[in-house]
Chains A and B, each alone.
Chain A
Amino acid sequence: MALWRRSFPVDLADEGRFSRREFARFLALVSAGFTAGLGYLWLRKKPLEGAPEPRGQNEVPVALGLAADLRPGQSRLFTFRDAQDRCILLRTPMGELRAFRQTCTHLGCAVRFRNDRLECPCHEGFFEVERGFPIQGPPTRPLSGIALELRSDGTLWAVGDLPKPTDLPARAGAACPRILPKEVEA
């Protein structure tokens, strides 16, 4: 007889019968744990680490200088809400201005603008610059976008958060050689 069976002398039939009920109880308690977790997320007022603050709070526009100073393919760093809220302003090769938080949605490294896309040097994650979608590497969520405002005097201002995009743009595949066009279309 095995040592564990001598240590726990439970009849095999009883063992099966009771363990099934107890296993169901364990499953139910784990399920209750998930419910408690959701309740905690619901009641928690402070945003989770990495999550943007609710819109409308601390929306103080930040001046980013003259829009004409930034040429296609160039970028500039700035801080938005506080010194820790690091963002990157860039002009795409198509000439459009975009701004994103620098925090990679994978593990929080700072992304940089290189070769017409945003790259995270820590784990080789890449994001397209139109809407901040991940196109290669470990990140699965898009970057937080910053809303920009071009004023009549030619100055550019960061004015708030953009809503997170949810649909994959068709051109994301073109920016990433590892994504086949069929995968993007599917």
Chain B
Amino acid sequence: MSRPHRSHLSDAALVVALLILGIQVYLFETVLQSVLDGQRALLPGAFAASLVLTAIALLLAFKVPRIDQGPKH
């Protein structure tokens, strides 16, 4: 069965996606704790950083056509 290389995602891309999610979890937990402490000043910056991370994750997941050569047949 032939398989298009277009769908293949490299280990590096997957690790970056996992890393981004880890950062997002840490960021959200930290910001939520700060908000509960009444400190809202970092919300705009945290939102911007989170937006950039999400954009990268979406780019990796949906738009990167082929990062490596994929598995050999």
Q: How far is the CB of A141 from chain B (nearest CB, A)?
A: 6
The size class of the interface chain B forms with chain A is 35 or more
CB <8 Å contact, B61 and A28? yes
Q: Given the interface contacts A35-B50, A35-B51, A41-B32, does A24 sit within 8 Å of B38 by beta carbon?
A: no
Instruction: Please determine whether B37 and A28 come into contact, CB atoms closer than 8 angstroms.
Output: no
Tally of contacts, chain A with chain B, CB under 8 A: 105
Main secondary structure of the interface of B (DSSP, over half): helix
The answer to whether B60 and A28 have CB atoms under 8 Å apart is yes
Sort chain A's interface into a size bin: 20 to 34
Given contacts A23-B14, A38-B43, A38-B46, A28 and B58 within 8 Å (CB-CB): yes
Contacts A35-B47, A41-B32: A24 and B60 contacting too (C-beta < 8 A)? yes
A32 and B35 form a contact (CB under 8 A): no
**Residue in contact with B24 in the complex, picked from A13, A35, A50, CB distance below 8 Å:** A35
Given A13-B3, A23-B14, A27-B20, A38 and B38 touching (CB < 8 A)? no
Q: Are B54 and A164 in contact (CB under 8 A)?
A: no
Which stretch, A14-22, A112-120, A122-130, touches the partner chain B? Answer: A14-22
> Is there an interface contact between A34 and B33, defined as CB atoms closer than 8 Å?
no
B14 lies within 8 A of A24 (CB) = yes
Asked if residues A31 and B53 are in contact (CB atoms below 8 Å), the reply is yes
Nearest CB of chain B from residue A131's CB, rounded to whole Å: 13
